[in-house]
Chains A and B, each alone.
Chain A
Amino acid sequence: MAVPSASPQVPDLREPPGWRRTKNQLMTILMWAAFVITLVPLVLVLYTVIQKGSAAISWQFLTSHTIPPNVMPLSFPGGMGPAVLGTLEITGFAALIAIPLGILGAVYINEYGGKSVLANFTSFMADVMTGVPSIVMGLFIYTIWVLHFGYSGLAGSFALACLMLPIIIKSTQEMLKLVPDSLRQGSYALGATKSRVTLTVVLPAAVSGIVSGALLAVARAAGETAPILFTIFTVEATNTNLFSGANTTLSAQIFVNATSSYTGAEQRAWGAALTLIAIAFLLMIIARTVTARFTRYTR
């Protein structure tokens, strides 16, 4: 392999043919193939939802009342009005609870807790809590609230809030870590108290990331079904009162209609699915835009 000195021969620097190069190329192809194959179900799902869902969607669909999945419709195929309302209300209220608590929790871990064992432990357990199954959250709220106060949209909000809380804590924590310490020091040096530093300097610096993390958590919560089933007792009437009485959401409607074999149920399910995906995607796109737009300012 070593070239002898004073050799007049010019070295050949081309890639030696053979297995090393083919192996490298093969691996690269495999990696790309993995990505493409992963795309397939995504494309199929989106295609089917859009195709079948758009057949069901109309303004009437989005505003009329739902009908139970086990009823043969006479003239009216049923709509998703209450479910849309329910999804928006219940998820919205859950966000109202979870976002401030989540941000405050992250503030504790990152700003106040420092290196203490408790803060580290809390951070670790928040990580673990993101893995708690959504059905367990539903059962939890059922045992702790529904048994005493009955079904309501509020209970559903609590369950969703429990799901969202650790996610928002983690994403906010990541954003707070990115805020350079020099900003905090500058504020302290002007005589600000810790709460003031946090509220007026740290949080505003991280706001875009916090907002986008929160929106993604909301998008996920909007799609949840299991916690809803146990807390709101899916019904088919519109219930604008969040705090009492059973309620329904898009996700619950999809679930009950999906396995029903009655006419029109499947179509309703697709319509609801399209609506739900549209909401979730919309939230995701807003989240990404917020990140992209505001990071330019903070750079």
Chain B
Amino acid sequence: MEQPENEVIPQLHVRETAQDAVPERPARASVFDVEKVSVYYGDFRAVTDVSLRIHEHEITAFIGPSGCGKTTVLRTLNRMNDLIPGARMEGDIRYRGAGLYDAAVSPTAVRRRIGMVFQKANPFPKSIYDNVAYGPRINGIRGKGQLDEIVERSLRQAALWDEVKDRLGKSGLGLSGGQAQRLCIARTLAVEPDVVLMDEPCSALDPIATGRIEDLMQEIKSKYTIVIVTHNMQQATRVSDRTAFFSVLRNEKPGASDTRTGILVEYDRTASIFESPRDERTQAYVTGRIG
């Protein structure tokens, strides 16, 4: 994963092989290989030249100040940017070896395997049961017994079962913020995806609700791969195995549409990012001097 030298784009700090050689941690399979990805909305370049590798059964955090493209990069991983008119991607993303943006690929098939939890919980205006059962139902599972089992399993995984098991028929809109977000997580888990992407899932929640979701992330890590965008550095240190620090490109030409283009500055194991960052911008951010 070499980054070509370029006076505008600073050197990307990626340290993988050294750490991966540590015997207690065998190298995990690669789930995503993101290579030199740039995303454009129309003429505006939102992120440029991002390259990283997401590993299986790990929690990877994207951190950085606002507007530096973390969510944009996250959304490329499940092709949600396709829904934005004028959005365009350059570069290559491979999902377990398969090209994610190949011509024959169907976005719906992609999203079945790569789920997403949004910043603001968005339960459907249906019952709690129907919310969780929505995904399995559109995949053809109709049998009530099967659906019951899936709903219970997903709600348990999302640590919500005990709170709602007696009111599965009630509307999903009636839940508190933290519960609603766990419902959305249950809904995502119900289709048994491979990867769960999370876009600042706790930013609208209080610390207790946040803690419950962080616990749940650790519990499900062994079955899924998680990528989380977060503004909360403490959260990143608490839950993630690897962290990618994004920032904005400072463009020489003022007023050009590129001035807020996001870049990936440093990507490493979380401990290294926070304790011994290699780039001064990373250091400034994680010690609280900027962002």
Name the A residues within 8 Å of B105 (CB-CB): 13-14
Residues of chain A in range 1-43 having any CB-CB distance to chain B below 8 Å: 1-3, 5-7, 10-16, 19-20
| Contact A10 B106, CB 8 Å, known A1-B191, A2-B192, A20-B138 | no
Which residues of B167-194 are within 8 A (CB) of A? 191-194
Looking at the complex, which of B107-115, B199-207, B248-256, B259-267 is the stretch in contact with chain A?
B107-115
Closest to B112 in A: A1
Q: Look across to chain A and name the residue whose beta carbon is closest to the beta carbon of B105.
A: A13
Q: Which of A2, A6, A15, A19 is within 8 Å of B106, CB to CB?
A: A15
Residues of B near A11 (CB, < 8 A) are 95-98, 113, 194
| Interface status of B84 (Cβ within 8 A of chain A) | no
Interface residues in B65-103 (C-beta closer than 8 Å to A)? 95-98, 100, 102
Do A10 and B193 contact each other (CB < 8 Å), given the known contacts A2-B223, A15-B106, A16-B109?
no
Q: How far is the CB of A176 from chain B (nearest CB, A)?
A: 30
B56 at interface, CB cutoff 8 A:
yes
B106 touches A14 (CB 8 A): yes
Bound-state CA distance A12–B138 (Å) is: 19
A24 to chain B, nearest CB (A): 9
Which residue in A1, A6, A7, A13 is a CB contact (below 8 Å) of B192? A1
Q: Which chain A positions have C-beta within 8 A of B290?
A: none
Chain B nearest CB, measured from A8 CB (Å) = 8
Q: Interface residue count for B (Cβ, 8 Å)?
A: 26
Chain B residues whose C-beta falls within 8 Å of the C-beta of A20 in the assembled complex: 108, 138, 140
Q: Assess whether B104 is interfacial by the CB under 8 Å rule.
A: yes
Expressed in whole angstroms, the minimum distance between the Cβ of A135 and any Cβ of chain B is: 41
Tell me whether A3 and B109 are in contact (CB under 8 A): no
Query: Which residue of the partner chain, among A10, A15, A16, A19, contacts B96 with CB atoms under 8 Å?
Result: A10
- Assuming the contacts A13-B98, A13-B102, A20-B138, asked whether A5 and B109 have C-beta atoms less than 8 A apart, the reply is no
How many angstroms between the C-alpha atoms of A3 and B102 in the bound complex?
Answer: 20
Q: Which residues of B contact A7 (CB under 8 A)?
A: 29, 96
**Interface residues of A, count at CB 8 A:** 15
CB distance from A147 to the nearest CB of B (A): 54
Contact of A15 among B56, B108, B191 (CB under 8 A): B108
Bound together, the chains give a CA A1 to CA B190 distance in angstroms of 11
The distance in angstroms between the C-alpha atoms of A6 and B28, with both chains bound, is 8
Q: Which residues of B sit under 8 angstroms from A3, Cβ to Cβ?
A: 96, 113, 194
Q: Which residues of B contact A12 (CB under 8 A)?
A: 98, 109
A6, B29: Cβ atoms closer than 8 Å: yes
What residues on A are CB-neighbors of B224 within 8 Å?
A: 2
Given A11-B113, A14-B105, A16-B109, residue A5 in contact with residue B96 (CB < 8 A): no
B231 at interface, CB cutoff 8 A: no
Is the CB–CB distance between A2 and B110 below 8 Å?
no
What residues of B have a CB within 8 angstroms of the CB of A15 in the complex? 106, 108-109
- How many angstroms from the CA of A20 to the CA of B106 in the assembled complex? 12
Residues of B within 8 Å of A14, CB to CB, are 104-106, 109
Which B residues touch A16, using CB under 8 A?
A: 106, 109
> Is B242 among interface residues, defined by CB-CB distance under 8 A?
no
Q: Does B45 contact A (CB under 8 A)?
A: no
Considering only CB atoms, which chain B residue lies closest to A16 in the complex? B109
Taken together as a complex, chains A and B put the C-alpha atoms of A1 and B110 apart, in Å, by: 12
Complex: how many Å from CA A12 to CA B194? 13
A1 to B224, CA, bound (A): 12
Within 8 A of A (CB), among B187-229: 191-194, 223-224
| Neighbouring A residues of B113 by C-beta, 8 Å | 1, 3, 11, 13
Q: Shortest Cβ distance from B30 into chain A, in angstroms?
A: 10
Residues in B whose Cβ lies below 8 Å from that of A10: 96-98
Residue in B closest to A18 when the chains form the complex, CB atoms = B140
Complex CA–CA separation, A197 to B224 (angstroms): 61
Residue of A nearest to B225 (CB): A5
The docked-state distance in angstroms from the alpha carbon of A7 to that of B100 is: 17
Whole-angstrom distance between the Cβ of B151 and the nearest chain A Cβ: 16
Residue from B56, B96, B102, B191 whose CB has the most chain A CB atoms within 10 Å:
B96
The chain A residue with its CB closest to the CB of B195 is A3
- Pair B110/A13 contact, Cβ less than 8 Å: yes
Q: A10-B96, A11-B194 are in contact. List 12 more A-B contacts (CB 8 A).
A: A1-B193, A2-B194, A2-B223, A5-B28, A6-B29, A7-B29, A12-B109, A13-B98, A15-B106, A16-B109, A20-B108, A20-B138
Q: What residues of chain B have their CB less than 8 Å away from a CB belonging to chain A?
A: 28-29, 56-57, 95-98, 100, 102, 104-106, 108-110, 112-113, 138, 140, 191-194, 223-224
What 4 pairs across the A-B complex have the smallest Cβ distances? A15-B106, A10-B97, A13-B105, A1-B192
Give me 26 A-to-B residue pairs in the complex whose CB atoms sit less than 8 angstroms apart, sorted by A's number: A1-B112, A1-B113, A1-B193, A2-B223, A3-B194, A5-B28, A5-B29, A5-B56, A5-B57, A7-B96, A10-B96, A10-B97, A10-B98, A11-B95, A11-B97, A11-B113, A13-B95, A13-B98, A13-B104, A13-B106, A13-B113, A14-B104, A15-B108, A16-B109, A19-B140, A20-B140
A residues near B (Cβ < 8 Å) are: 1-3, 5-7, 10-16, 19-20
